[in-house]
Every structure is written in C-alpha cells, then in structure tokens.
C-alpha cells in the first residue's frame, strides 16, 4: 500500500491524500521545478535545466520527509521555458513569456484556491525574458491570492556554468552525458546538489516559520 506520509510527488497522491496533507499538522510546501528545452552544448540533453531543478526539489522533499513541521511535495515540473530572442537553435522548444506566466499563475491559483498557498518556484533556466515572466507571474499571484510566491533561481558560478550544470547532471542522469566532450564530475555534482538542497530546505523552513511567527 502506498504511504502518503513518505511520498514526495504531489501528483502521485490521491485526492483524499492531498486533502490530508492540507489539513495535517505539518505545513505543506509545494515545490514547482521550472526548466527549459534548449541546447546545453553537444554533451548534454536539451532537458538539462528541468532535470537539475527537479533533482533539487526531490532532494529537498526527501530531506524533509521525516520533518515534524514541514511537508514538502514536488509538483509536476514546468519543462518549457522562454528563450532569448532570435533564431531557434536545433533542439530548442521555447514558449512565449505570456504562456509561461499563464502556466505559473494558473498552477499557483488552483493550489491556493484549495488551501495550498505555499509554493516555491525552483527555476534553473537563466534567460532575462524567462526570469521577467516569472517575476510578473509572482506579481499576479500576489494580487490574486494575497500570497507571496517564493522563487529560487539556481545560481551558477560566473564563467564555468557549463561545467557546473554538467556536474549536476552527471550526479543525476550520467547516462545522458557525453563525458568525452566535457570535463565534469558526478562526485562534484553530488556535492553541489547537497549545497543546493541545503539552500532550498532553508528557504522552505523560512517560508513556514514566517507564518508561525507573524512578528
């Protein structure tokens, strides 16, 4: 039998289990991974950003699995993102800023409407137009639901973003990486994931603590 207590994926719960999460003693926090379908060099798949964002969310939810106060669940990812203007490179599947904004607003509004307003957008796609659409989505959600939409953007080090992302990918899905084409390491990636998970768990805890202590 499926235990709703240890599950980390929102969409794998049944409707009554979602209700139980909402009404439980642990504050529910929903994690929304946001990525993009775009080229990541000749060595990595075009869904790299989604894999990294989802990997962070899964690790954070798993780390909080036994937590007394917080219940973190991973929402189905938004796999598509907004691309920079110009010709669409081979393998890229961009969506418009309006579409991304609408998706985020609709998902968050639907959840807030059923008593699940604590949502963290975990984004690993860095494109100005994409980030701007996420900003606007947060404004609309705030106006409509009165809830601040928290966002975590995966910070990549200046200069070596490719190696950074590839290391994370090697820790997650090594079979998708052509390691002959880039120098990166899964061990390094696993350590990076640990750091990112700690950061995300921190954000999740602050979100629930802020409510418990309105001062």
Q: Which one, 21 or 51, has the nearer CB to Zn ion?
A: 51
Name the segment binding Zn ion (CB under 5 A); options: 19-27, 49-57, 82-90, 196-204. 49-57
- In the complex with Zn ion, the residue whose CB is nearer, 49 or 58, is 49
Query: Among 101, 97, 92, which residue's Cα sits nearest to residue 82?
Result: 97
Calpha distance 201→95 (Å, rounded): 30
Which residue stretch of 12-20, 44-52, 96-104, 183-191 sits at the interface with Zn ion (rule: CB under 5 A)? Answer: 44-52
- 153: Cβ–Cβ under 8 A, 6 or more apart, which residues? 123, 124, 126, 131
Least gap, CB of 213 to Zn ion (angstroms): 36
Q: Which one of the spans 45-53, 97-105, 175-183, 203-211 is the region binding Zn ion (CB under 5 A)? A: 45-53
Q: Is 49 in the site for Zn ion (CB under 5 A)?
A: yes
Report whether 18 contacts 61 (CB < 8 A). Answer: no
- Name which of 49 and 172 has its Cβ closer to Zn ion: 49
CB of 35 within 8 A of CB of 49?
Answer: yes
> In this structure, are residues 148 and 118 in contact, taking their beta carbons and an 8 Å threshold?
no
Distance CA 112, CA 196 (A): 26
Position 172 contacts Zn ion (CB under 5 A): no
DSSP SS3 for 81? coil
Stretch near Zn ion under the rule CB under 5 A, chosen from 47-55, 70-78, 90-98, 130-138: 47-55
Q: Applying CB under 5 A, does 127 fall inside the site for Zn ion? A: no
Q: Can you give the binding site for Zn ion, defined by CB under 5 A?
A: 49
């Amino acid at each position: 039998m499926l235990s709703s207590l240890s599950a980390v994926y929102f969409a794998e719960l049944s409707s009554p289990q979602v209700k139980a999460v909402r009404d439980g003693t642990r504050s529910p926090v929903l994690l929304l991974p946001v990525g993009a379908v775009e080229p990541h060099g000749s060595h990595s798949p075009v869904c790299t950003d989604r894999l990294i964002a989802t990997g962070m969310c899964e690790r954070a939810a798993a780390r909080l699995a036994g937590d007394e106060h917080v219940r973190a669940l991973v929402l189905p990812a938004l796999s598509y993102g907004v691309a920079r203007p110009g010709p669409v490179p081979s393998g890229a599947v961009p969506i418009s800023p309006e579409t991304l904004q609408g998706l985020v607003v609709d998902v968050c509004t639907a959840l807030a409407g059923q008593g699940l307003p604590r949502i963290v957008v975990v984004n690993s796609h860095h494109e100005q137009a994409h980030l701007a659409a996420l900003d606007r989505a947060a404004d609309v959600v705030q106006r409509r639901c009165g809830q601040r939409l928290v966002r975590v953007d995966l910070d990549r080090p200046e200069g070596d973003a490719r190696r950074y992302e590839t290391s994370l990918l090697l820790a997650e899905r090594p079979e998708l990486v052509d390691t002959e084409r880039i120098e990166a390491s899964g061990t390094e990636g696993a350590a990076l994931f640990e750091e990112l998970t700690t950061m995300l768990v921190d954000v999740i805890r602050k979100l629930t603590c802020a409510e418990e202590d309105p001062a």
